[in-house]
Amino acid sequence: MTLTREGSLWATLLVALVLGALHLLAPHIRRRLPVSTHAATSLGGGIAAAYVFLYLLPRLAEGNQAVAHVLEEKVDATPARGFILFFVALIGFLTFYVLERATHLPNGHMQEPTRMVFAFQLGFFALYSGLITYTLATKLHAGLGPAVLFAVAMGLHVLATDGVLAEHFPVSLTTRWRLLLVAGAGAGWLTAVVAQPSGVLMNLLTAFLGGGILLNVFVDELTPERHSSLTWFIVGLAAYSGLLALATLTTGQGAA
């Protein structure tokens, strides 16, 4: 099932509002989870792992082929043309890795990293939310099932990344600054209303976002053994893999 452009924008607005609410209410949600924090984190890690290997990486490969096809008449056929999107994904990975390292730099006796590091972290996570909502409109227009699963995975991802921000910046991350993250999600939707991304731009943005997601999944959501639950990890992995498989088969049959 696909949506019209207008329908996909309204659906994306709903997701942007949900993401904004998650940014604001994440501390309260984490405190009221029906399972332990370790179980919830492991469940999210399993879902994130399934998302990365069964959805994100295949989409990067497909997008890379599409970008190479567009450039076919403009750029000579060289091996370098074949990994454009993966290079952009690497840039996204590196960007968030540099921010992660800056957060953990020795900082004397200060309770948390410097205000500059906090500003960069907050700004990039606002951009992160904006990219999610901006690219979601096109995903909804292409197919409802996979887009809904993408939105679910990103919602859980937002909760996980918020927990990381709250851990690193327990004093600075106030409700006032959380509103900037909410604004990022809203700005992504407004940008999608004003300017629909082209195929190439969509693939490039997805690749950059994918690089950041990969780093955050591997660093923050796949927790060390002593802080994780194998059972809940497998539950998340199996459940989300099954839903992705169902959405893929349904989309394929609809296209046929």
* SS3 of 111-169: CCCCHHHHHHHHHHHHHHHHHHHHHHHHHHHHCHHHHHHHHHHHHHHHHHHHHHHHHHC
At 131 the pLDDT is: 87
Q: Are 182 and 23 in contact (CB under 8 A)?
A: yes
Q: What are the average pLDDT values for consecutive 10-residue runs of the chain, which has 256 residues?
A: 78 91 89 75 83 82 64 52 78 87 65 75 87 83 77 84 81 88 93 80 82 80 68 90 84 46
- Quote the distance between the C-alpha of residue 77 and its chain's center: 32
At 183 the pLDDT is: 95
Task: Return the residue matching tokens 């004003």.
Answer: 194
Task: Return the residue matching tokens 């890690």.
Answer: 45
Helix 144-168 to helix 230-255 angle (10° resolution) is 150
Nearest by Cα to 169 from 111, 129, 219: 111
Spatial distance between the Cα atoms of 129 and 13, rounded to a whole number of angstroms? 13
- DSSP assignment letter at 34: S
- What is the model's pTM? 0.77
